Amino acid sequence: MSGSKPLKMANADEEKLCLDSEPPKNFEHGPETKPPKTKPKREAKVKIALVSCGTEYGGVQHAFEQAADKVNAEFIYPEIDVAVLDTIGKDFGIEAASGDLRLMMARAQAVVRGETIADGVFITTCFRCAEAAIVRNEVRRYIHKYSNVPVISYSFTEQTDAATLYTRFEALTTIAKRRHLLAREVQHGITAGIDSGSTTTKAVIMKDNRIIGYGWVPSNEVIESAEKALTLALEMSGIDRSEIQALGTTGYGRYLVGQHYNADLVQEEITTNSKGAVYLAKIQKGPATVIDIGGMDNKAISVEDGIPGMFTMGGICAGASGRFFETVAKRLNVDITELGDLAMKGHQKNVPMNSYCIVFGTQSLVNSLAGGALPKDVAAAACRSVVEQIYQQQLQEVDVKEPVILVGGSSLIKGVPRELSDLLNVKVIVPENSHLIGAVGAALLVSGFVEE
C-alpha cells in the first residue's frame, strides 16, 4: 500500500478526483466550483429512457432536462409500433383508459426487449392521477423484473424543479456507469467519510475495514460542523490528519465540504447510504431493502449485492422524518434520546395521529394530550405515524424484500423499528452505528482511491 497522503484544504490549482459530474450551479445542494485549468475529457452522456405519461404537458420538461444535463445525461424516447397500443394492456394486466399511459407501457416494453438501448430508466407521472400511479408502479416492477437496467420513479407536481430531481439523476447515473465502484465490499487503508446532513453532520475514520473513530454533531454552519465532526473522529481514532489517505463526502453539504477538504470522492447519498447500510448489517450479498429515515426526508432503496436497483426519496411532508420526532419530544418535554424508551412503554392504538403532515401531526399530538392521552402512548403513536407514511408513500415505490435494514438517526428511536416490524410483519435490522451509514459508505467507497 502506498504511503499516506496529507489531508489538505482545497487549492484552486489542484483538480480533485470526483465520481460525480461537475457540481450543479446555483443548486441548493451545493455551490458552484471553479473548473480545473485543464478540463478533463467529458465522458459520453448517460442515456436515460424517459417513460412518462407526458412531462411536456405538465410544464416540467425543462426542469427534467436541466437536471439530466447537470449529471451528463440525456433523455431518449423509446420508439414503438403504434399498433402495440391496442394490445399492450394485456401484457401488463392493466387496461389503461389513457392513451398516454398505454404509450408509457409500450415504451417500457421496448426497453426490456432491447429495442431501445438505455443506461437507465426514469419513470414519472403526475401525482394527481390515481390511474397513472398504478401504471407507474407496474411499469417499474416490470422493468426491474425483466431487465438489469437501473430504474427510478417519481411523481411530479407543477412546482417540480431541477434541484429537486438532481440527487435522483445523480444516483441513477452513478449506478449505470460506476457499478465497479459500488461493488466494493472491503475498506482498505486509512480513509475518512463525512456526511453533511440536513440536521446532523457525521464523520468516520476507517482503517483496514474497521471503524476506529467517529463524530456526530448538529448541522449548523456547514464547514464548521464538518470540522467539528472530523476532529472528534480523529481524536477517537488516535489518527493524525496527515495519515488520512483518502476522504469522501456525501449529504446535502457534500460539495461545499468536498471543496473545503479537496475530497477524493463527492457522492450523493443514495449510493453511499446503500453501501453503508449493507456493510454495517454485514449483508452485502443478495437482496435487501434499506429504509433511511433522515432529518428532513426519507429514502427507500431496493438493493441487490450492495448496489441500488430501485429507490425513492422525499415524501409529502417532514411529518415522516427526524424533524417530527424532535417536535414530539419537545412537546412531551423529554430529550430526543429518551423518546424511544418512552414509546416502548406505550401503545399507539390508544392515540389517533395524522400521518401526512408535520403541522397536522403536531395538532393531533396536542389534541390527544389535551384529551388526557398518556405521553407514552403519544410517543408510540408518533413512531407509528412516521412508519405508516413511509409505507404509504415510499415503500409502494420499491419491491420490499427481506432483510429490511433500518438506518439513519431515527433508527435509534426504539419505537420506530418496533412499529415498522409490526407494520411489515418482518424482522427489521438496525445495525450498530446505523446513524453513521452515509459517512461509513463514503469512507468505504473512497478507499477505492487508495493504491494497494
CATH 3.40.50.11900 describes domain 46-177: yes
Fold: same for 182-282+437-449 and 287-430 = yes
Q: 182-282+437-449 has which fold?
A: Nucleotidyltransferase; domain 5 (3.30.420)
Give residue 417's pLDDT.
Answer: 93
Give residue 11's pLDDT.
Answer: 42
Q: What is the mean pLDDT of residues 361-377?
A: 80
Give residue limits of the domains in the chain.
46-177, 182-282+437-449, 287-430
Q: What is the mean pLDDT of residues 7-27?
A: 45
Least confident window among 44-58, 231-245, 301-315, 412-426: 301-315
pLDDT at 327 > cutoff 70? yes
Give residue 195's pLDDT.
Answer: 97
Q: Which set of grid coordinates corresponds to residue 188?
A: 482498505
Give residue 316's pLDDT.
Answer: 52
Q: What is the pLDDT of residues 378-391, one digit of tens each?
A: 889 888 888 888 88
pLDDT at 292 > cutoff 70? yes
Higher pLDDT residue, 259 or 305? 259
State how far Cα 421 lies from the chain centre: 21
pLDDT at 35 > cutoff 60? no
Least confident window among 79-93, 148-162, 303-317: 303-317
358, 327 contact by CB (below 8 A) = yes
Give residue 222's pLDDT.
Answer: 95
pLDDT at 29 > cutoff 50? no
Q: What are phi and psi of 87, to 5 degrees?
A: -120, -5
Q: What is the CATH code of the structural domain delimited by 287-430?
A: 3.30.420.40
Give residue 451's pLDDT.
Answer: 60
pLDDT at 30 > cutoff 50? no
pLDDT at 32 > cutoff 80? no
Give residue 105's pLDDT.
Answer: 95
**Whose CA is closest to 390, among 373, 407, 376, 402?**
407
Q: How many CB atoms lie within 10 A of CB 450?
A: 18
**Average pLDDT of the chain to the nearest whole number:** 85
Q: What is the mean pLDDT of residues 195-202?
A: 92
Round to the nearest angstrom and report the end-to-end CA distance of the chain: 4
- Return the top range by mean pLDDT from 43-47, 225-229, 296-300, 310-314: 225-229
Tell me the C-alpha distance between 217 and 226, whole Å.
8
**Whose CA is closest to 443, among 298, 148, 303, 234?**
234
Distances (CA, A) of 406 to 32, 163, 182, 281, 437: 34, 27, 20, 10, 10
pLDDT at 10 > cutoff 80? no
Give residue 210's pLDDT.
Answer: 96
Give residue 278's pLDDT.
Answer: 96
Q: Which set of grid coordinates corresponds to residue 323?
A: 424533524
